[in-house]
Structure 1
Amino acid sequence: MKGLYCKPGDQGDVKFLLRETDVPNNIGNHEVKVQVKSCALSPVDFKLFEELKLGKEHISVGREIAGVVLQVGPKVTFFQPEDEVVGILPLDAELSGLCSVVIIDEYNLVQKPEKVSWFEAAAVMKDGLRAYTALHTLARMAAGQTLLVLDGASPFGVLAIQLAHFHGVKVLATALSAEDQKMLEELRPSVGVQESLLARVIKVWDSKESLVDTCLEETGGLGVDIIIDSGVRLFEEEPETQLHLPHKHDLITLLAVGGHWVTTEQNLQLDPPDSHILFMKAVSLSFLNDEVWTASRAKQGRYLHILKDVVEKLSVGTFRPQLEDPVPLYEATVSMEMVQKKQARKRIVLKL
């Protein structure tokens, strides 16, 4: 049985490879053996593995899975054989999600609705969890607020837009290219009035359009209530690869009083003047790390509730992920390299 693994190099280079692996014959009291039907690919955060002291010679890749229960442990209460399930493998999982069979704790799985495809079920888990964490757990969104999603055409951005619109939030989003702009402008709800999900698509690829001016214009000069970034520029002189990112001062400027800034920038640096402006606006700053749910067991019940709600919203059409065509197993290494380099604009899912 083959699985996808990565081997970090000495100079920071990463090698992805398919390796033969064996499934243990015995399963624990609360473990479930699952036959994997599909597996989604997400970038591997090697820095997080190092900080949690999970560094191994080969790190398993592909953690969002959907499949059928083959066997359950003696104390498993949530599932029975032949149940259709979906979930996320923990960070320290020994088996890759691309193995045909995996063993996983029952508390990392939820039931898959019958009318949801294997393909979509695996694809929505990671981005759906991130969207819920950003908007519900961190930003405490409420109807009538205004949200700015940076890089709205990314797999995560699309689900964040759909979730916010469902809850009555006015959504603005940035597009990094003309193709992204077209895709965002065509987003429509699955039911009801077929109006756009977005109040405005901001063309950051067009130098004539200002992010700050556009957001202030859309909000009558009051600013946006919630910002979800996809990284920020900390200094004026940054590498060319980061020129599409907004500067931190721009985001601080366009935040409303009492607003929430949810950042994915792990190394965010705020100078005293920046902090003073945030203080004067009574703004809250949160760091989006969706891995905290599986790295800590403190709120396992809330984590499972989120996963259940994610697949429920997928089943009723609230969530409609942007997907590439199914990829066969023999293309796993090439596909994962694209995902790790952030060259894939849609979620890539492998069909087993």
Structure 2
Amino acid sequence: MKGLYCRADAADAQPKFVIQETSLPEVLGSHQVRVQVKACGLSPLDFKVPKSVVDGCYQFKLSDKKIENRIAYWCEYKYEWLSVCLYVRPKPEKLSSVCVAAALRDALCAYTALHTHARMAVGHTLLVMDGASSFGLMCIQLASYHGVRVLTTSHSLQKHTFLEQLRPSVARVIQVYNGSSDLLPIVLEETGGLGVDIIIDSGVRLQEEEELKETKCLPHKHELISALGVGGHWVTSHQDLQLDPPDCRLLHLKSASVSFLNPETWTASSAQQGRYLHILKDILEKMAAGVLRPQPEDAVSLYEATVAMETVQHNQRKKAVVQL
């Protein structure tokens, strides 16, 4: 059997991805299970996850049975230590393996951001940055289903046209690709000057003078804090976010909060097992019912997986799906 492996010997070395042959035991033990993988979603590996976070990973037993029409979602870290968590859920018949593999991680992130961190409720107002991305689209669909008013931003003319077609699920699409940012005044206009209840970003600028191509469409951190309403929640995916005293002061005055989105930590504690499995079950049910409709994703073969994984790891590509 062939598998995709990562080589990262030194902490500062660039990881290398290779395809290697591996052998499986012909006779399985009483606590082992053989899973046939039909499609796999590739996402960046975080080598900075501390050992203490995943040392609490638990193990649970699976009987020696053939698993058909199931979805396996796992988190794996490899250094001098190894922790693996495997979760198996039934796959809805109407959904293809490629579709589920492409959407499951983004749906999990959206569910974690909106339900776990932001505690969204009917009547809330949500601002989603880059709503045309796969993650942003999941946030829009999930929030609209729960009666949340959604504002979003577009990072190109093509994305703007796509988001306009989502009305009435999207109340307002704000252009941020034309050089001038009208994000804050438009948000205040749409909310009567009160600000939004929830903000979910796709990255932020820490300095006003940042003019890099990849950060040109990103909002400044102070701009997002100013767009928050009283008691609002800002869910960020920016790992190195730094807040200055004026930013903290403004958050304090609004009694607002900042949460960091890292869906991998669901597997870091055995106490979260039940909640995590419930989230996966609810996501699959919503996908089967058409509530969550992922964007189509072209799958690559296993022989193209090394190149695809390297582009994902180096942030040159948002995600990839391997079909086996």
The normalised TM-score by structure 2 is: 0.88
Q: What does 1:67-86 align with in structure 2 at a 5 Å threshold?
A: 76=62, 80-86=65-71
Structure 1: state its 5+ residue gaps: 55-73, 95-103, 188-194
- The Cα shift of 1:294 comes to 1.0
Q: Are 2:33 and 2:66, in contact at CA under 8 Å, matched by a contact in 1? A: no
- The Cα shift of 1:24 comes to 4.3
Mean Cα deviation higher: 11-20 or 220-229: 11-20
Q: What amino acid sits opposite 2:154 in the alignment?
A: A
Q: 1:234 aligns with which of 206, 211, 233?
A: 206
Q: Are 2:203 and 2:237, in contact at CA under 8 Å, matched by a contact in 1? A: yes
Instruction: Find the counterpart in structure 2 of residue 225 from structure 1.
Output: 197
SS at match of 1:39: strand
Q: What amino acid sits opposite 1:213 in the alignment?
A: P
CA distance in structure 2 between the aligned counterparts of 1:172 and 1:50, rounded to whole angstroms: 38
Q: Are 1:323 and 1:348, in contact at CA under 8 Å, matched by a contact in 2? A: no
Q: Are 2:232 and 2:257, in contact at CA under 8 Å, matched by a contact in 1? A: yes
Q: Are 1:130 and 1:290, in contact at CA under 8 Å, matched by a contact in 2? A: yes
Q: What amino acid sits opposite 2:7 in the alignment?
A: K
1:22 aligns to 2:23 (yes or no) = yes
- The Cα shift of 1:248 comes to 0.8
Instruction: Find the counterpart in structure 1 of residue 3 from structure 2.
Output: 3
RMSD, matched Cα: 2.5
Sequence identity percentage: 53
Q: What does 1:92-171 align with in structure 2 at a 5 Å threshold?
A: 92=77, 108-171=87-150
Q: What amino acid sits opposite 2:291 in the alignment?
A: T
1:197 aligns to 2:201 (yes or no) = no
Distance change (3 Å), C-alpha of 1:203 and 1:24: farther
Distance change (3 Å), C-alpha of 1:29 and 1:299: farther
Mean Cα deviation higher: 273-282 or 304-313: 273-282
Mean Cα deviation higher: 336-345 or 22-31: 22-31
CA distance in structure 1 between the aligned counterparts of 2:62 and 2:273, rounded to whole angstroms: 16
CA distance in structure 2 between the aligned counterparts of 1:257 and 1:218, rounded to whole angstroms: 16
- The Cα shift of 1:316 comes to 0.7
Structure 2: state its 5+ residue gaps: none
CA distance in structure 2 between the aligned counterparts of 1:75 and 1:267, rounded to whole angstroms: 37
1:88 aligns to 2:73 (yes or no) = yes
Q: What does 1:252-331 align with in structure 2 at a 5 Å threshold?
A: 252-331=225-304
CA distance in structure 1 between the aligned counterparts of 2:69 and 2:266, rounded to whole angstroms: 22
CA distance in structure 2 between the aligned counterparts of 1:262 and 1:323, rounded to whole angstroms: 26
Instruction: Find the counterpart in structure 1 of residue 179 from structure 2.
Output: 207
CA distance in structure 2 between the aligned counterparts of 1:341 and 1:153, rounded to whole angstroms: 21
Instruction: Find the counterpart in structure 2 of residue 335 from structure 1.
Output: 308
SS at match of 1:292: helix
Q: What amino acid sits opposite 2:207 in the alignment?
A: F
CA distance in structure 2 between the aligned counterparts of 1:82 and 1:291, rounded to whole angstroms: 24
Q: What amino acid sits opposite 1:23 in the alignment?
A: L
Matched residues, number: 314
Distance change (3 Å), C-alpha of 1:233 and 1:27: farther
The normalised TM-score by structure 1 is: 0.82
Q: What amino acid sits opposite 2:175 in the alignment?
A: K
Q: Are 1:232 and 1:265, in contact at CA under 8 Å, matched by a contact in 2? A: yes
SS at match of 2:38: strand
Mean Cα deviation higher: 334-343 or 289-298: 334-343
- The Cα shift of 1:318 comes to 0.9
- The Cα shift of 1:82 comes to 4.3
CA distance in structure 2 between the aligned counterparts of 1:265 and 1:45, rounded to whole angstroms: 13
Distance change (3 Å), C-alpha of 1:83 and 1:197: same
CA distance in structure 2 between the aligned counterparts of 1:268 and 1:75, rounded to whole angstroms: 39
Distance change (3 Å), C-alpha of 1:27 and 1:299: farther
Q: Are 2:102 and 2:297, in contact at CA under 8 Å, matched by a contact in 1? A: no
SS at match of 1:116: coil
User: 1:267-319: CA deviations, max 9, x gaps?
Assistant: 22122221111111111211111111112222100000000011111101111
CA distance in structure 2 between the aligned counterparts of 1:151 and 1:49, rounded to whole angstroms: 30
Q: 2:154 aligns with which of 175, 179, 195?
A: 175
Q: Are 2:54 and 2:268, in contact at CA under 8 Å, matched by a contact in 1? A: no
- The Cα shift of 1:3 comes to 1.2
Greater length-normalized contact order (CA 8 Å, ≥ 6 residues apart): 2
CA distance in structure 2 between the aligned counterparts of 1:30 and 1:111, rounded to whole angstroms: 20
SS at match of 2:98: helix
